[in-house]
């Protein structure tokens, strides 16, 4: 301010002096007036330049020659503008970081404005609802999601609970279920979260089915047992009749025992650590044990007078090259003997059962059980390893089966990195094989005894 007044005074003095020299006292007065006028004109012109710059947008130019009051105003404005730009850039970076975090969320996230239009949505939400994250921006969510449950949820306006919908990618073979929850925030805005609950729902259904199946499996022999107990208590029976009833009761008790044993095996398989690679089992010994059990079972299931089943097992030479398996010996025995046991149980008298052990070119090995039994229709094959699944319920029950055998086999094999393959032709027989990976197979000579 002081500089401004000093400059004005200097200009007035100079012009006054020039006026006095040219025209006496009147000339001096005219010079002072002209100097003042010229000074304010100059200031006005500088002000106009600053105003012109303030009106334009973009990077502030450096205005040469604009100093003093206007120059300082210009500098301060420029500094404020830069500060503002830095602030906007930082806010933008923060917003992008937030959006990236929401994008990385495993759940679907949609931001809705007060009119229910999509302001932003992440890729997961786009996949859940079949949206296009860019094309559908500012579209009304009510128009895009037409599921009646969602429309009712949106209309009711009570967002304390979630709503469950079918995902857009859902098919009859791969159902997708979603949990959708709206959370109001800001001024009428809503945050819409979606979560894939397909597996949770499937696990719930499996648990319910499992409990229902176990109860059913236990109830049947229990009912029979209770019936016999009542008969024994109420009726005076002959000794041989009594003995027959007791034998039937023992059979039912054995069935329940078998079921509990299988359930315990399954839960042990699910809960224990994976079998390591340092415990080697001799396949010759493993198959010798399976063979002994199979022959005993075959003799038990063959009716008196009927032709015996023909059982073939690999020779010691066939087992020499890749005759050692790494893993848990009991689990391996349970898997292989279950497969052989099924072949023996489901093949009629006089049929043939052949067990094979083959070394594979990739270093792995293949175990196979082929039988000339009834075979299995193709529609049952994908479901055979489900718990309690039986092709012929009454037949399986008659043979003492619980329907858990193949579930145990699949689980045990999976834990050893092996895969179960089932080939069967109705009326011709079946082949169940297990493919063991190279890392779990080696020559028998190097194996340790079980
Ligand atoms: N070799 C086979 N030939 C024909 N059907 C078979 C054969 N193996 C299995 N099945 C069918 O598959 C079903 C499931 O077999 P799985 O071993 O899981 O149960 P299970 O034999 O009934 O009972 P468990 O083995 O628990 O005593 C059987 O009920 C049977 O119908
Ligand atoms: Mg079985």
Domain ranges of the chain: 1-56+70-80, 105-196, 204-272, 277-446
- Contact residues for 146 (Cβ-Cβ < 8 A; gap 6+): none
How many angstroms is it from 433 CA to the middle of ligand 1? 14
Share of the chain above pLDDT 90, in %: 70
Residue 27 has pLDDT above 60, yes or no: yes
Report the residue among 343, 346, 393, 421 best suited for mutation to probe ligand 1: largest number of ligand atoms under 8 A from its CB. Answer: 346
Q: What is the pLDDT of residue 448?
A: 46
Ligand 1 centre to CA of 249 (Å) is: 24
Q: Which residue has the tokens 């010798």?
A: 288
Per-residue pLDDT of 165-181, as tens digits, reads 999 999 988 999 999 99
Q: How far is the CA of 381 from the centre of ligand 1 (A)?
A: 11
> Nearest to residue 401, comparing CAs of 426, 384, 414, 418?
384
List CB contacts of 372: < 8 A, sequence separation 6 or more: 347, 351, 352, 353, 428, 429
CATH class of this structure's domain 204-272:
mainly alpha
Interatomic CA distance for residues 49 and 170, integer angstroms: 66
Please say if the pLDDT value at position 75 is more than 90. Answer: no
**341 CA distance to ligand 2 middle (Å):** 7
Whole-number Cα distances in Å, 435 to 317, 319, 404, 422 = 20, 15, 21, 11
What are the backbone dihedrals phi and psi of residue 66, each rounded to the nearest 5 degrees, phi first? -95, 100
Give the DSSP H or E segment for 342. Answer: helix 329-346
**Looking at residue 445, what is its pLDDT?**
56
pLDDT tens for each residue of 319-330: 888 889 999 999
- Return the H-helix or E-strand segment holding 189: strand 189-196
Stretch 47-63: mean pLDDT, rounded?
A: 70
Whether pLDDT at 296 is above 90: yes
pLDDT band at 62 (very low <50, low <70, confident <90, very high): low
Alpha-carbon gap, residue 162 to 202, rounded angstroms: 18
Predicted confidence (pLDDT) at residue 293 exceeds the cutoff of 70: yes
The whole-number average pLDDT for the span 355-384 is: 95
Whether 135 has a pLDDT exceeding 90, the answer reads yes
Q: Hey, whose CA ends up nearest to atom 9 of ligand 1?
A: 342
Distance CA 447, CA 435 (A): 19
What is the average pLDDT across 302-328?
92
Q: How far is the CA of 342 from the centre of ligand 2 (A)?
A: 5
* Structure confidence at residue 44 (pLDDT): 87
Residue 415: count other Cβ atoms within 10 Å of its Cβ: 19
Among 268, 321, 319, 320, residue whose Cα is nearest residue 290: 319
pLDDT of 32 higher than 50: yes
pLDDT at 183: 96
Helix, strand, coil % in the chain, rounded to nearest 5: 55, 15, 30
Tell me how far the alpha carbon of residue 214 lies from the centroid of ligand 2, in angstroms.
16
Structure token pair of residue 444: 């028998």
Whole-angstrom distance, CA of residue 392 vs CA of residue 96: 60
pLDDT at 78: 83
| Strand segments (E) across 108-188 | 108-112, 118-121, 163-166, 177-185
Inter-axis angle of helices 283-301 and 329-346, nearest 10: 30
To test the ligand 1 pocket, which listed residue (401, 409, 413) has its Cβ within 8 A of the most ligand atoms?
A: 401
Q: How confident is the model at residue 395 (pLDDT cuts 50, 70, 90)?
A: low
Fold classification of 277-446 (topology level): Heat Shock Protein 90 (3.30.565)
pLDDT value for 447: 44
Q: What are the distances in angstroms from CA 27 to CA 15, 22, 252, 260, 393?
A: 9, 6, 136, 126, 129
Centroid of ligand 1 to alpha carbon of 316 (angstroms): 29
For 281, the enclosing helix (H) or strand (E) is strand 280-282
Q: Would the pLDDT of 304 be above 80?
A: yes
Pocket of ligand 1 (CB under 6 A): 262, 338, 342-343, 346, 371, 373-374, 376, 384, 389-392, 396, 401-406, 430
Name the DSSP class of 437. Answer: P
Collect all residues with Cβ–Cβ distance below 8 Å to 75 and sequence separation of at least 6: none
CA angle 378, 380, 382 (to 5 degrees): 90
Place of tokens 């609970």: 161
Mean per-residue pLDDT, 303-326:
92
- Beta strands 163-166; 429-436: pairing state: unpaired
pLDDT of residue 116: 94
Q: How far is CA 372 from the centre of its chain?
A: 41
The CATH number corresponding to 105-196 among 1.10.10.10, 3.40.50.460, 3.30.420.40, 3.30.450.20 equals 3.30.450.20
Nearest protein Cα to ligand 1, atom 17: 405
Tokens 């393959």, residue?
421
Q: Which of 403, 409, 427 to mutate to test the pocket of ligand 1 (most atoms within 8 A of CB)?
A: 403
Query: DSSP characters for 60-117?
Result: PP--TT--HHHHHHHHHHHHHHHHHHHHHHHHHHHHHHHHHHHHH-SSEEEEE-TTSB
């Amino acid at each position: 301010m002081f500089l401004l007044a000093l400059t004005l005074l200097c200009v007035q003095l100079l012009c006054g002096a020039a006026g006095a020299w040219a025209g006496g006292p009147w000339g001096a007065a005219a010079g002072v007036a002209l100097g003042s006028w010229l000074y304010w004109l100059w200031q006005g012109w500088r002000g106009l330049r600053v105003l012109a710059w303030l009106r334009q947008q973009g990077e502030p130019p450096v205005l040469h020659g604009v100093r003093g009051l206007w120059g300082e105003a210009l500098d301060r404005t420029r500094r404020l503008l830069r500060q503002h730009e830095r602030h906007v850039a930082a806010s933008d970076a923060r917003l992008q970081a937030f959006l990236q975090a929401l994008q990385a969320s495993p759940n679907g996230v949609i931001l809705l404005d007060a009119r229910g239009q999509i302001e932003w949505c992440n890729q997961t939400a786009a996949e859940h609802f079949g949206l296009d994250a860019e094309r559908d921006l500012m579209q009304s969510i009510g128009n895009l999601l037409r599921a009646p449950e969602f429309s009712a949820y949106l209309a009711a306006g009570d967002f304390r609970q979630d709503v469950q919908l079918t995902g857009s990618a859902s098919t009859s073979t791969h159902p997708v279920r979603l949990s959708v929850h709206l959370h109001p925030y800001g001024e009428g805005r809503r945050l819409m979260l979606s979560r894939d609950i397909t597996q949770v729902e499937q696990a719930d259904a499996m648990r319910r089915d499992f409990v229902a199946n176990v109860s059913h499996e236990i109830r049947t022999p229990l009912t029979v047992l209770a019936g016999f107990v009542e008969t024994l208590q109420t009726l005076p029976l002959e000794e041989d009749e009594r003995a027959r009833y007791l034998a039937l009761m023992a059979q039912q008790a054995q069935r329940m025992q078998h079921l509990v044993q299988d359930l315990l095996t399954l839960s042990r398989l699910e809960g224990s650590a994976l079998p390591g690679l340092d415990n080697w089992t001799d396949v010759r010994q493993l198959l010798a044990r399976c063979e002994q059990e199979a022959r005993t079972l075959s003799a038990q299931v063959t009716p008196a007078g009927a032709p015996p089943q023909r059982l073939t097992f690999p020779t010691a030479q066939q087992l020499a090259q890749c005759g050692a398996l790494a893993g848990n010996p009991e689990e391996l025995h349970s898997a292989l003997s279950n497969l052989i046991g099924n072949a023996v149980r489901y093949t009629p008298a006089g049929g043939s059962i052949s067990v094979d052990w083959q070394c594979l070119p990739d270093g792995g090995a293949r175990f196979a059980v082929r039988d000339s039994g009834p075979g299995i229709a193709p529609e049952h094959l994908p479901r055979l390893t489900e718990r309690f699944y039986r092709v012929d319920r009454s037949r399986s029950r008659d043979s003492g089966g619980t329907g858990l055998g193949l579930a145990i086999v699949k689980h045990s094999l999976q834990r050893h990195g092996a895969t179960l393959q089932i080939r069967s032709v109705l009326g011709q027989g079946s082949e169940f094989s297990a493919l063991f990976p190279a890392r779990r197979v080696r020559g028998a000579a190097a194996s340790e005894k079980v």
